[in-house]
Amino acid sequence: MSKVPQLIKDGQVQAVALSERVHWIGALDPTLRTFDIILKTANGTSYNAYAVRGSEGVAIIDTVKENFAGDFFARLETVARYDEIKVIVLNHLEPDHTGALPELMRRAPQAQLYISQKAQSMLKALLKQDEFEFTPVMTGDQVTLGDRSLEFFHTPYLHWPDTQCTYLPEERILFSGDVFGCHFCDLRLFNDEVGDFRFSFEYYYAHIMRPFKEHVNRALDLIEPLLPISQIAPAHGPLLRDQPQRYVHRYRELSRAVQQSETGEGPKTLLIFYISSYGNTRRMAEAIYEGAMTVNNVRVSLFDLEGGEIAPFVDLIEGADGLLFGTPTINGDAVKPVWDLLSSLAVVNLKTKLGGVFGSYGWSGEAVKMVEDRLRGLKLRVPIPGLRVKLIPTEEEIRNCREFGLELARELTGVRQSRVIDMADLA
Ligand code: FEO
């Protein structure tokens, strides 16, 4: 029979023990359906915070979203007095973890606040208060609670610059912040008791950690030497006490896919996405495809956005070296499927990729420039100005399209010649 931890007793919320000296003092938010505007959650989330008792004092690790502070303080009070709190650790300063911090520091003014070095500039901006004293810490720094201690591991960009993990070596418990977390709310709290949260774990990784794979790998280089860990205590979702190493290994698997563009190995990949109302942008796309195909060591693919789904395209884009987008101009704008795909790219790292834009238009043709600006905003390199054609491309314009594809493919392989400027042309 499932063992539901007693979160409420006699009408009062209760802390939940991870061990004799470590308690969960967080809050559940079961009705939340959208987190941070972009993340969906089908059954809410939790804001996990923890209390660690040592022989010389108590540490509080993270707090909760401000409007859940009541539950947090009530749970805290079931395991510690405020005058026992010696240490407050914030693994990450996003408001879902710092909402109750000002009030906690007011109730425990003797406590010392520990944050990462990178969190210093954020603390003031987030809390809009000047009077906080704090100690910035780096990887390897420790604080003692007597017979318990906490060690800090700076894990930047998982998923903010400030993020760190905190380790309790005497019990081998890792307080991991957002890392290994997910938005999943279940009264049973522990991963061996809650419902199936695999989808939530993968979804959270894909939307929060995936853009920072190289940083995830560096963080895992710090975390893996700690294995075997007895429990992972993340800032959201189930507490991972059953086979916690599985989640560490899964993060490594998900982050291992090194892009060909990073290794420089294999052919370069060029993806051409287009959508066409009357076939004119399609004709351009096909000619660009033909031109790019003539370049050795470039693998070119052509996709009509009308026949595809966003998610697999995003996966393809993550592994590609070059991206071309073809769009007509309709009512002075690029068309929705193009914007939809571009707006889905926040989850991948685009910085090393090459981009280009083309399209047919009727009378104004703003779309190409608009998409080009967007690509530059997403940090793609756009080495060749976008190619526009008025209505049906002529034979000469089709040749220009082939040349456009060929030049972009050459740019990918690093063999494109710089254009020689004839001074006579400038006269
Ligand atoms: Fe759970 Fe990035 O805050």
Q: Is the CB of 236 under 6 A from ligand 1?
A: yes
**Extended strands (E) in 240-339:** 268-274, 298-304, 322-326
Residue 8 has a pLDDT of 83
Whether the Cβ atoms of residue 103 and residue 74 lie closer than 8 Å to each other: no
| Gap between the Cα atoms of 173 and 89, Å rounded | 15
| Gap between the Cα atoms of 7 and 187, Å rounded | 8
Q: Is the CB of 178 under 6 A from ligand 1?
A: yes
Structure tokens, 242? 């059953």
The segment(s) of the chain belonging to CATH 3.60.15.10 are 8-261
Whether the Cβ atoms of residue 322 and residue 260 lie closer than 8 Å to each other: no
Report CA-CA distances (Å) from 362 to 226, 278, 370, 383, 393: 62, 11, 16, 26, 12
Q: 5-35 pLDDT, tens per residue?
A: 778 888 889 999 999 999 999 999 999 998 8
β-bridge partners, 268:
298
Q: 207-231 pLDDT, tens per residue?
A: 999 999 999 999 999 999 999 999 9
| Gap between the Cα atoms of 175 and 164, Å rounded | 9
Residue 158 alpha carbon to ligand 1 centre in Å: 9
- Number of residues assigned to the chain: 427
Count Cβ atoms within 10 A of the Cβ of residue 2 and give its class: 0-12 exposed, 13-18 middle, 19 or more buried.
Answer: exposed
Residue 6: CB atoms within 10 Å: 11
| Gap between the Cα atoms of 89 and 54, Å rounded | 15
Residue 39 alpha carbon to ligand 1 centre in Å: 11
Residue 98 alpha carbon to ligand 1 centre in Å: 10
- Percent of the chain past pLDDT 70, that is, above it, reads 93
Q: 355-378 pLDDT, tens per residue?
A: 999 999 998 899 999 999 999 999
Nearest atom within ligand 1 for CA of residue 159: 2
Nearest atom within ligand 1 for CA of residue 160: 2
Nearest atom within ligand 1 for CA of residue 236: 1
Residue 163 alpha carbon to ligand 1 centre in Å: 9
CA triple 204-210-214, angle to 5 deg: 140
Residue 94 alpha carbon to ligand 1 centre in Å: 5
Residue 179 alpha carbon to ligand 1 centre in Å: 9
Residue 3 alpha carbon to ligand 1 centre in Å: 28
Backbone Cα Rg of the chain = 27
CA triple 336-340-346, angle to 5 deg: 150
Instruction: Point out the least confidently predicted range of 304-308, 393-397, 411-415, 417-421.
Output: 417-421
Q: Is the CB of 96 under 6 A from ligand 1?
A: yes
Residue 257 has a pLDDT of 66
DSSP 46-100: EE--EEEEETTEEEEE----GGGHHHHHHHHHTT--GGGEEEEE-S--SHHHHTT
Residue 306 confidence (pLDDT) above 50: yes
The segment(s) of the chain belonging to CATH 3.40.50.360 are 265-426
The pTM of the full predicted model, rounded to 2 decimals, is 0.83
CATH of domain 265-426: 3.40.50.360
Nearest atom within ligand 1 for CA of residue 181: 1
Structure tokens, 355? 């981009």
Whether the Cβ atoms of residue 174 and residue 232 lie closer than 8 Å to each other: yes
Q: Is the CB of 94 under 6 A from ligand 1?
A: yes
Strands 173-177 and 231-234: parallel
Average pLDDT, the chain: 92
| Band of pLDDT at residue 427, cut at 50, 70 and 90 | very low
Nearest atom within ligand 1 for CA of residue 95: 3
Residue nearest to atom 3 of ligand 1 (CA): 94
Residue 404 alpha carbon to ligand 1 centre in Å: 43
Spatial neighbors of 215 by CB under 8 A, at least 6 apart, are 155, 156, 157, 158
Q: Is the CB of 92 under 6 A from ligand 1?
A: yes
CATH for 8-261 (3.40.190.10, 3.40.50.300, 3.60.15.10, 3.10.130.10): 3.60.15.10
Residue nearest to atom 2 of ligand 1 (CA): 94
Residue 235 alpha carbon to ligand 1 centre in Å: 8
